[in-house]
Amino acid sequence: MVITRTALVTRSASSHLGDSWIDHVIAMPLLEQHDLAVKGILISRLNKLHGRFTRLTEADIAVMLGVSKRAIQRRKRSRLTPEESGTLLDLLALRHLATDVLGDQDAGETWLLQRAVAFEGRRPIELLATRQGAKLVKEHLTRIEHGVYV
């Protein structure tokens, strides 16, 4: 995966997301994250995560994963595919980074949902559907963090 998630947890705000599972997953070495994605994240875990978001809705997450909200509901006793799991891990890592860069979880999630000129009017969350898009969002947040992008 292109995103270096382990570097994200070194910041002091590692527990600001309020969920020990999220913090644990973000802190995992990339090989363990890979193994988790290959195994597939339980749909029940995804359903629990929805309550941890302040702005992101089930519909936003379903669109990012490339499935309908209804399809996720039908699969409630199964697992996300490896690709869907990887995309969800990218979302968690980038929400964490956006929260650190922008100061709080609400601001980070709001930023992920707003259309941006840098992305030709697309919302950052829409770009998370691909590894290339996730990399682009991460690079943009890093530029904001370092004051390169205004």
Q: Would residue 2 count as lying in a domain? A: no
Q: Would residue 7 count as lying in a domain? A: no
When divided into structural domains, the chain yields a total of 1
Q: Would residue 50 count as lying in a domain? A: yes
**Alpha helix segments (H runs only) across 30-81:** 30-39, 43-50, 58-65, 69-74
- CA distances (Å), origin 105, targets 14, 17, 20, 38, 140: 11, 7, 15, 28, 17
Report d(CA 122, CA 112) in Å as an integer.
10
Q: Would residue 100 count as lying in a domain? A: yes
3-state secondary structure of 95: helix
Report d(CA 61, CA 102) in Å as an integer.
21
Q: Give the structural domain span for 27.
A: 18-145
Q: What is the dihedral of CA 26, 133, 128, 130, to 10 degrees?
A: -100
Q: Would residue 150 count as lying in a domain? A: no
The DSSP secondary-structure symbol of 140 reads: H
pTM, whole model, 2 decimals? 0.83
* Tens digit of pLDDT at every position of the chain (150 positions): 444 444 443 333 444 444 789 999 999 999 999 999 999 999 999 988 888 888 988 888 998 898 988 988 888 889 999 999 999 999 999 999 999 999 999 999 999 999 999 999 999 999 999 999 999 999 999 999 999 865
Q: Would residue 1 count as lying in a domain? A: no
- Cα-atom radius of gyration of the chain, to the nearest Å? 14
Closest by Cα among 23, 130, 133, 29 to 84: 130
Neighbour-count burial of 146, counting CB atoms closer than 10 A to its CB (0-12 exposed, 13-18 middle, 19+ buried): exposed
Report d(CA 26, CA 11) in Å as an integer.
12
Q: Would residue 3 count as lying in a domain? A: no
Q: Would residue 13 count as lying in a domain? A: no
Report d(CA 71, CA 89) in Å as an integer.
19
